[in-house]
Amino acid sequence: MQNIDLHIHTIYSDGTWAPNEVVLRAKRLNLAAISITDHDSVAGLKEAMAAGKKLGIEIVPGVEMSTDAGEDEIHILGYYLNWKEKEFLAELEKFQAARAKRNRKLLKRLKELGMDINHKELKGFAARGVISRLHIARLMVRKGYVSSIGDAFEKWLNSGKPAYVKKMSVSPFQIIELILKAEGVPVFAHPFLSRRDDLIPHLVKAGLKGIEVYHSAHDSRATQHYQKIAQKYHLLITGGSDCHGEAKDKVLMGTVKVPISVLKALKKAAGGEILSV
Ligand code: AMP
Ligand code: MN
Ligand code: MN
Ligand code: MN
């Protein structure tokens, strides 16, 4: 029985592998389908689709967007959206511009704190696409300012820490609306990391269609818990590793077993003619 992985980042956001390499590795792991879910970007989808076609792996178009609910971060995944639609791309550009602004402020803050990372260096390091705090954390490790990525977040980059700079504020409700407008399926990503189950009924009312039950940060208890929540609110169950290539301590692709039945239900919910291999 083959598995799938519906949550993977590439170099178009904070992963370390090009879409081609992601697809090749997925093939080696015998995955039947994967989704590329870069932060605020769909730029890697074209390359991934072409590679998927060549290698016989189904590619689900996806995106991951960060939102806030008060002090908490809620990430929303969007699947099967019209990723070539001009209005949707224009919206993504707004988020990318806000990130660029935030990153400049963040580097300034780090400099004040005695950690010198310049913008050129960061851009060169990220190479392509959207730059996240993970790129900055990795550079902080590389330059010896912190001993690990975890340290960079816990000491400096997390909300409430000295180098934290907020991005453009957007609510999960606005992002659900945006994804629905692009005819995508909005899914609550790794809910166990947000710990905001209280929001779920409100998100469902706003049009949330699914919840990421299987995730590398979900232990078996969390998985069971969100399975029950999915049942209660009639939400689709999705899942993925949230692999960032080699950017995190561990390569995560292949570590979370997501059954292929998940894809069938997701596709059905997306409706219409779906491109497959
Ligand atoms: P941003 O999207 O710029 O807010 O950056 C958040 C990204 O940093 C997430 O997508 C994760 O990939 C990564 N991240 C956040 N917290 C941690 C952590 N404690 N350890 C490793 N990576 C993290
Ligand atoms: Mn990330
Ligand atoms: Mn996320
Ligand atoms: Mn992710």
For the sheet with 185-188, list strands across it: 236-240, 210-215, 185-188, 72-79, 58-69, 33-36, 3-8, 258-259
Residues 237, 240, 241, 242, CA torsion sign: negative
pLDDT band at 277 (very low <50, low <70, confident <90, very high): very low
Probe residue for ligand 1, chosen from 134, 158, 170, 194 as the CB with the greatest number of ligand atoms within 8 Å: 134
Domain boundaries, the chain: 3-91+168-269
Q: Where are the alpha helices (DSSP H) in 29-147?
A: 45-55, 86-112, 119-126, 133-142
pTM value?
0.97
Q: Could you tell me which of 200, 180, 201 has the C-alpha nearest to residue 191? A: 200
Q: What is the pLDDT of residues 149-207, one digit of tens each?
A: 999 999 999 999 999 999 889 999 999 999 999 999 999 999 999 999 999 999 999 99
Q: Is 39 near ligand 1, meaning CB less than 6 Å away?
A: yes
Residue 232 confidence class, pLDDT cut points 50, 70, 90? very high
149 lines ligand 1 (CB under 6 A): yes
| pLDDT confidence bin for 272, thresholds 50/70/90 | low
Helices marked H in the chain: 19-28, 45-55, 86-112, 119-126, 133-142, 149-151, 172-181, 191-194, 200-206, 220-232, 261-270
Q: Considering only CA atoms, which residue is closest to atom 19 of ligand 1?
A: 150
Compute the distance between CA of residue 244 and CA of residue 49 in angstroms, rounded to an integer: 18
Q: Does residue 228 have a pLDDT over 90?
A: yes
Q: Looking at ligand 1, which atom is closest to the CA of residue 103?
A: 3
Q: Is the pLDDT of residue 4 over 90?
A: yes
Domain spanning 3-91+168-269: CATH superfamily: Metal-dependent hydrolases (3.20.20.140)
| Ligand 2: centre distance to CA 57 (Å) | 23
Residue 276: the pLDDT is: 46
Mean per-residue pLDDT, 241-258: 96
Closest residue by CA, ligand 1 atom 16: 153
- Distance from the alpha carbon of residue 118 to the mean position of ligand 3, in angstroms: 26
Does ligand 1 lie within 6 Å of residue 156's CB atom?
no
Summarize pLDDT for 26-57 with one digit per residue, the tens: 999 999 999 999 999 999 999 999 999 999 99
Cβ count within 10 A of residue 1? 7
C-alpha of residue 133 to centroid of ligand 1, in Å: 6
> Could you say which DSSP state residue 82 is in?
-
> At a CB cut-off of 8 Å and minimum separation 6, what does 118 contact?
107
The mean predicted confidence, pLDDT, of the chain is 96
